[in-house]
Copies of this chain bind each other. A is one copy, B any other.
Amino acid sequence: VTALPAERLRVTYQLSCGPGEAPEARARDIAVEQTVELPLQCVPREIAARFVGQIEAIEPLGDGRWHVVIAYDPIVLDDAVPQLVNLLFGNISLKPPVLVTAIDWPPSLLARLGGPRWGIEGVRALVGGEAQRPLLCTALKPLGLSAVELAHLCYRFALGGIDIIKDDHNLANQATAPFRERVERCQEAIAKANRESGGSSRYFPNLGVGSPALAEHIAFVRTAGCRGVLLSPLILGLDAVHWIAATAELAILAHPSLSGVWFRPDHGIVPELLYGEIYRAVGCDGVIYTNVGGRFDFPEAACHAINANLRKPLGLLRPAFPVPGGGVDVQRVRHWIDRYGIDTILLIGGSLYAQGDLTAASRRLLDTVRAHCQERLVKEAGG
């Protein structure tokens, strides 16, 4: 009988060393800081051997940059997400710059995290099952409209065929459109639009409260008939996301609010890993990110890397939808379909609002998307 190789959580870091600084010392410091947090002479030998991260690689990248791989025994983790976050970037967030660039996940950890409950296929099925095109998503805004006004927008977008109509992420429980009233009215509006159009649009309300009201809000949106929600993982906490994914049977669309604090070029977790693997592993079915060319500033290579990670094989996790937002409008929608492929949700806000008649604008967009995808299919068949 051969023993199975022990599982390891391998984390890849990039770091810079000044003159006279040894990359080995920096790597050892990370391996200790993220685990036992004591000088090694104060740590019993058998604990140091098992609990301190093992340095597996230190390689120069040029210009004083180094590539470091540290392997952690999953025994340092428990079943919840907070300790995973501690391990990945807790204390080192406060130390000299270090960038987490890759994670090699132990299959048992992925299985425990569980990933998306719905995934790409499941979310498609929720909105009617059309397989050969990207889905379309828009946001109800601005903050300040009443629940009745937001529900009217919801109705008009749904009538035009937008698949997912989500709350803006800053619609919480403000007096102008209280959560419960908004959810009920928007859900009624979308049901009415679907009856009239024969469509399958869905309304995803924003979960903007933490524990314990969160559980009540989840029960409320389910009772109202919603099948998905928007939330901001870094504001509610990644563990809350994990719990919702595992228990609520709601599709989860992740908003990037606050996530920019992580994306320092030399310190943090690279976006394709935070959005593409960590958000996916804890259970997001779709991940909104700030598309290149929009009102935020994200390079196209990062967008492609996020897309690839969300869709790639990762243990037994379902793939999740990339949801580029910003810079997508009727004029450019064909371009983005060609760049990103059909397993994408295109988030389109301002450019629909700017057209005034939301139903007509939405329908025009959907027609363009369908026609372009049809054309691509014909080309592929011919090629």
Binding site for B on A (CB under 8 A): 33-39, 41-44, 47, 50-51, 75-83, 85-87, 89-96, 139, 141-145, 168-170, 172-176, 208-215, 232, 235-240, 242-243, 256-264, 267-268, 290, 295-298, 349-350, 353-354
- Assess whether A297 is in contact with B89, with CB atoms less than 8 Å apart: no
| Partner pick for A51 among B39, B43, B144, CB 8 A cutoff | B144
Inter-subunit contact B243/A211 (CB<8 Å): yes
Q: A38-B353, A210-B240 are in contact. List 16 more A-B contacts (CB 8 A).
A: A37-B139, A76-B143, A79-B173, A82-B172, A83-B170, A86-B208, A86-B257, A89-B258, A93-B258, A94-B297, A95-B296, A95-B297, A211-B215, A211-B239, A235-B239, A260-B267
CA distance A356 to B92 in the complex (A): 27
Question: Would B94 and A260 count as touching, CB distance under 8 A?
Answer: yes
Given contacts A174-B76, A208-B83, contact A290 B142 (CB under 8 A): no
Q: CA separation between A170 and B84, bound complex, in Å?
A: 9
Q: Which residues of B contact A34 (CB under 8 A)?
A: 170
CA distance A168 to B75 in the complex (A): 16
The reply to whether B77 and A174 form a contact with Cβ atoms under 8 Å apart is: yes
A16 to chain B, nearest CB (A): 14
Most chain B CB inside 10 Å of its own CB: which residue of A33, A139, A208, A349: A208
Contacts of A77 in B (CB 8 A): 172, 174
Tell me, rounded to whole Å, the shortest Cβ–Cβ distance linking A139 to chain B: 8
Q: A83-B172, A83-B174, A243-B210 are in contact. Are A257 and B78 (CB under 8 A)?
A: no
Cβ contacts under 8 Å, A215 to chain B: 211-212
Pairwise interchain contact A36-B210, C-beta atoms closer than 8 A:
no
What residues of chain B lie closer than 8 Å to A90, measured between beta carbons? 169-170, 232, 235, 257-258
The distance from the CB of A82 to the nearest CB of chain B, in whole angstroms, is 5
Q: Are the CB atoms of B214 and A211 closer together than 8 Å?
A: yes
CA distance A236 to B257 in the complex (A): 16
Task: Give the residues in chain B near A92, CB-CB below 8 Å.
Answer: 260
A30 to B74, CA, bound (A): 42
Closest to A33 in B: B295
* B243:A240 contact, CB within 8 angstroms: no
Chain B contacts for A296, CB-based, 8 A: 91, 94-95
Known A-B contacts A94-B259, A169-B90, A256-B94; the reply to A213 vs B80 at CB < 8 A is yes
Q: Contacts A77-B174, A90-B169, A212-B215 known; A239 to B239 CB distance under 8 Å?
A: no
A298 partner residues in chain B, CB cutoff 8 A: 94
6 nearest A-B pairs in the assembled complex, by CB-CB distance: A210-B239, A93-B260, A36-B142, A237-B237, A94-B260, A90-B257
